[in-house]
Amino acid sequence: MMNPIDPASSPAGNGESSSEVLWKIFLTTLITLLGGGILWYFMG
């Protein structure tokens, strides 16, 4: 299941390692920067 990152429903202590959380944060940041960069490229 691919759920959006929701700390309230999926705390780090509930069967989820800290490295897994960091990996999700890294991926989310990367996708956000990539999407923002593409938008900025086409807008500018």
Q: What is the pLDDT of residues 1-44, one digit of tens each?
A: 555 555 555 555 556 688 999 999 999 999 999 999 999 999 98
Angle (nearest 5°) at CA 12 between 9 and 15: 90
Considering the entire predicted model, what is its pTM? 0.49
Q: Could you give the residue ranges of the DSSP H alpha helices within the chain?
A: 18-43
Residue 11: its pLDDT value, please? 52
Q: Is the dihedral of CA 14, 15, 21, 22 positive or negative?
A: positive
Q: What is the rounded distance in angstroms from the CA atom of residue 28 to the CA atom of residue 32?
A: 6
Q: Are 22 and 15 in contact (CB under 8 A)?
A: no
